[in-house]
């Protein structure tokens, strides 16, 4: 089901964007997805990783603006716990609220499914993402040393947690 996702947040009247929609990612979206992925990360996922996510049944969403894919989110769930594996917005479309819309859509979907909490990893150097997650109520709960490849050696990951207690920020 496509969702006019901006319409259900607490700032609905302010951020309503009827041209923005969220839907399930399909195999034929992967060319557009990989283009964003390669512009978003120094060490991007390959198309094979995205294909595997679809194949094994991870929840994969794209956000579209006037029908064009401008971002995506992928998460897995195990019992009452979810793991956000990827959240990206096209560089040309950032700071317009799309990352928040997508993340809130994911959290709302998880709450409806009875999932209690969502974890994610993020680079300590990724200030935009850290600010987004803080704004959306995530808290730091750990650090994984050397988790990410980096231009010189490895970079730690911060582990963030958001309890899905029935409210969005
Ligand atoms: C992180 C990312 C998804 C944010 O997407 P976005 O659509 O730009 O985010 P939003 O417009 O919804 O911003 C929401 C909040 O995040 C924070 N934020 C986002 N980008 C920011 C930036 N460049 N600098 C500072 N704060 C930023 C702000 O608090 C912002 O709220 P505000 O606009 O009211 O100040 C996007 O920057 C991205 O795709 N980055 C590359 C991929 C990535 O690093 N993903 C996360 C991996 S863990």
Identify which has the larger pLDDT, 105 or 9: 105
Q: Which residues of 24-49 are buried (b: 16+ CB within 10 A; e: fewer)?
A: ebeeebbebbbebbeebeeeebeeee
Res. 6: pLDDT tops 90? no
Ligand 1 atom closest to the CA of 120, numbered from 1? 48
Per-residue pLDDT tens digits for 82-132: 999 999 999 999 999 999 999 999 999 999 999 999 999 999 999 999 999
- For the chain, the farthest-separated pair of C-alpha atoms sits apart, in whole angstroms, at 46
What is the dihedral sign for C-alpha 138, 61, 123, 35? negative
Ligand 1 atom closest to the CA of 100, numbered from 1? 12
Per-residue pLDDT tens digits for 40-51: 999 999 999 999
Cα(59)–Cα(166) distance, rounded to whole angstroms? 20
Cβ of residue 82 lying under 6 Å from some atom of ligand 1: no
- DSSP one-letter string for 11-71: THHHH--TTEEEEE--GGGHHHHHHHHHHH-SSPPPHHHHHHHHHHT-EEEEEEETTEEEE
Model pTM above 0.85: yes
Per-residue pLDDT tens digits for 22-36: 999 999 999 999 999
For residue 115, what is the DSSP state? Answer: -
The secondary element (H helix, E strand) that includes residue 1 is none
């Amino acid at each position: 089901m496509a969702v006019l996702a901006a319409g259900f947040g607490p700032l609905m009247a302010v951020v309503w964007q009827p041209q923005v929609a969220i839907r399930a990612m399909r195999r034929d979206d992967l060319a557009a997805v990989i283009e964003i992925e390669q512009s978003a990360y120094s060490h991007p996922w390959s198309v094979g990783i995205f294909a595997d996510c679809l194949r094994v049944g991870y929840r994969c969403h794209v956000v579209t603006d006037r029908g064009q894919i401008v971002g995506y989110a992928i998460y897995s769930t195990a019992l009452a716990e979810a793991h956000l594996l990827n959240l990206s917005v096209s560089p040309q479309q950032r700071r317009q609220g799309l990352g928040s819309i997508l993340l809130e859509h994911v959290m709302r979907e998880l709450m409806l499914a009875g999932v209690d909490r969502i974890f994610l990893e993020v680079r300590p150097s990724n200030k935009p993402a850290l600010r987004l997650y803080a704004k959306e109520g995530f808290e730091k709960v750990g650090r994984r040393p050397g988790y990410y490849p980096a231009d010189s050696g490895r970079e730690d990951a911060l582990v963030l947690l958001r309890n899905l207690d029935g409210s969005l920020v």
